[in-house]
Amino acid sequence: MLKKGMGLALAAALAAGALAGCGESEPPVPKPTAAKSTSRPATSVENFMKVSKRVLESVNATDKDQSTDKLGATTTGPMTVIRQAQYNTKRLLGDSYKFPELATEVTKNRVAISSSKGYPRLAMTVMDPLKGNNLPTMDVFAQGKARENWKLWGSLRLFPGAEFPSVEGGKTGAETVAAESDKGLAASPKKTIEAYVNLNKTGSDAQGLTFSQDALRQELKKTADKNAAAVNGAGKSTMTFAVGNEGPVAMRTSDGGAVVVAQLNYFTTISSDSQHTVTVGDKAGSIASGKAEGKVTLDGKTLTTSNTRLVAFRVPAAKSKDKTISVIGSSDDVILGAQVQ
């Protein structure tokens, strides 16, 4: 019995070998393949329209009582800094100081939403001006991390004649551009704001980049010249510029360029010489003195005022023949602080 079983086993083995010899191979073992990464918008346009309206209405509600404690729930980045400064000024100056109410109705075809890849996720909108204003509003929203609410990152006004560039979103969402990335661009977002700062500092040196004439730069130069003329013969006034602490943020446009939003800080110093006194009023004087309609008198001392704005740029693609960068909008001037030393 034992021998017979061994014979059967041997026969079976020989049969298997014979089949193998006839060229039949073992069935292939499937190899695992990595799933393709699919990009999609961070959220749908329809959902974002609801979310953004809720955020903007919440900010407007907070504006009524100027509650800085509530700001963090609906704002982030430079918008929080700007609104806190505006609340401080409003408490000091009362009804004589007004800051812009936010438009809340987002139009479907004027929304750009980044892809769901990575954080922060971004969205940009353009809205018609509210009654009493004549310039469209550009808002920037950010979602800092997973399951965090969308918040308002910044709000600007587009300059007359400026158009928000087309941003290709489609089924994948728009591409965000890292601050230091110049891939496919005439300049990286970081280089753009740095060059613009230097252009304002020097009046001519844009660090190898080309900028078109813009309303903001003209306004800042006019203010600097006016202050200098006001203290001429009695003291000195200067204006210096720096890149702000927040951003820049950017989205790729349909033509391969980018729309960039960055923070511009600038500082005005006014001083008197040893033989004269200089009196400064207006908002700077009030903030420095801590009194509504206040003034400060400089007698050998210096008043330093810190201001900030958000600036929106349109950066061309590297392949463009014309690589001129244009400034398409900015936020209102905001005084962050003023002190005498």
Concatenating the DSSP letter of every residue in 192-212 gives HHHHHHHHHHHSS--TT--B-
> Rounded to whole angstroms, how far apart are CA atoms 185 and 324?
11
**334 Cβ contact list (under 8 Å, min separation 6):** 82, 85, 86, 307, 308, 309
- pLDDT value at residue 13: 36
248: amino acid identity, one letter: P
Q: Give tens-digit pLDDT for 231-284.
A: 988 999 999 999 999 999 999 999 999 999 999 999 999 999 888 899 998 899
Is pLDDT at 287 greater than 90 in this prediction?
yes
61-72-111-327 Cα dihedral, nearest 10 degrees = 100
Average pLDDT of the residues in 2-10:
36
Domain boundaries, given as residue ranges, for the chain: 45-340
Q: Return the DSSP state at 176.
A: B
User: Is the separation of the CB atoms in 61 and 71 below 8 Å?
Assistant: no
Rounded (5°) CA angle 238-269-157 = 80
Q: How confident is the model at residue 99 (pLDDT cuts 50, 70, 90)?
A: confident
Dig out the tokens for 36 from the structure.
């393709």
Percent of the chain exceeding pLDDT 70 equals 89
Q: Give tens-digit pLDDT for 136-147.
A: 999 999 999 988
Nearest to 144 by CA among 73, 212, 205: 73
Q: Give tens-digit pLDDT for 215-224.
A: 999 999 999 9
Is pLDDT at 152 greater than 80 in this prediction?
yes
Phi, psi of 315 (to 5 degrees): -100, 125
Average pLDDT of the residues in 285-310:
93
Q: Return the DSSP state at 265.
A: E
> Rounded to whole angstroms, how far apart are CA atoms 86 and 63?
9
Average pLDDT of the residues in 33-40:
58
- pLDDT value at residue 38: 63
3-state secondary structure of 30: coil
Q: How confident is the model at residue 20 (pLDDT cuts 50, 70, 90)?
A: very low
Q: Give tens-digit pLDDT for 157-187.
A: 999 989 888 887 778 899 999 999 999 999 9
Helix, strand, coil abundance in the chain, percent, nearest 5:
30, 30, 40
Question: What pTM, to 2 d.p., does this model score?
Answer: 0.86
For the chain, what is the mean pLDDT? 87
